[in-house]
């Protein structure tokens, strides 16, 4: 298969497995999604979805959030980890949204990435999932799979994002990045990976990755 055929195989396979694809983080609007994505850094979506209802019960908008202290926010979000940094970020970005954006989450990479604790990946998720603007947020699953599928060199997430955007049609980015995340979790995880279940890697995968897997499985 040439690269274009590999790309078409990925799209076709993912559409077959995931004709509809759910957004992993529970939210009701751009603000609650922004907070959920910020909390998900170095945590799991399951853990975040357990904690956000407790936080949003007290404050599900920037105006109510700034009525809480950083310490109160930190107490609620402690289970997701990195709570000192995340609580300051949540309080700080809520204040900026009120002061500069009339309490609304801006539909702009530039303005989003100016907010405390909001990096390019978080901004990309919000642009894609809250506003439907084409973006390709790269998480650990996408980074791993793009390397396994020999569609990127695995050097860093910046390069992986560039390769993904170059290879896949723009109109598919928003659905496709979610399909890859779900596929990575269910069929091609970092640990406990079974090549026979992973039809995409088995069909188009990087030879060195497959050889390593086979070598490791040999008694």
Residues marked as catalytic: 121, 139
What is the C-alpha separation between 68 and 186, in angstroms, rounded? 38
What is the C-alpha separation between 200 and 7, in angstroms, rounded? 10
- 159-163, long-range: CB within 8 Å, 24+ apart, which pairs? 161/136, 161/137
Using CA atoms, how far residue 38 sits from 117, 131, 192, in Å, is 7, 17, 28
Of 2, 95, 82, residue with least CA distance to 40: 82
What is the C-alpha separation between 129 and 70, in angstroms, rounded? 27
């Amino acid at each position: 298969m040439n690269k274009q055929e590999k790309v078409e195989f990925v799209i076709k396979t993912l559409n077959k497995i995931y004709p509809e694809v759910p957004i992993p983080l529970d939210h009701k609007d751009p603000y609650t999604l922004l907070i959920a994505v910020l909390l998900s850094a170095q945590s799991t979506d399951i853990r975040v979805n357990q904690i956000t209802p407790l936080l949003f019960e007290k404050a599900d908008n920037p105006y109510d959030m700034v009525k809480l202290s950083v310490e109160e926010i930190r107490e609620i979000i402690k289970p997701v980890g990195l709570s000192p940094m995340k609580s300051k970020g949540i309080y700080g970005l809520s204040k900026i949204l009120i002061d500069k954006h009339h309490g609304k989450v801006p539909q702009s990479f530039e303005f989003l990435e100016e907010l405390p604790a909001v990096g390019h990946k978080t901004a990309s998720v919000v642009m894609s999932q809250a506003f439907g603007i084409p973006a390709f947020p790269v998480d650990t699953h996408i980074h791993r799979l793009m390397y396994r599928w020999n569609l990127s060199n695995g050097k860093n997430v910046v390069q992986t994002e560039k390769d993904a955007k170059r290879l896949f049609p723009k109109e598919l980015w928003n659905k496709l990045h979610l399909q890859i995340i779900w596929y990575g979790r269910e069929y091609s995880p970092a640990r406990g990976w079974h090549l026979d279940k992973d039809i995409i890697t088995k069909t188009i995968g990087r030879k060195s990755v497959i050889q390593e897997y086979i070598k490791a499985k040999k008694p």
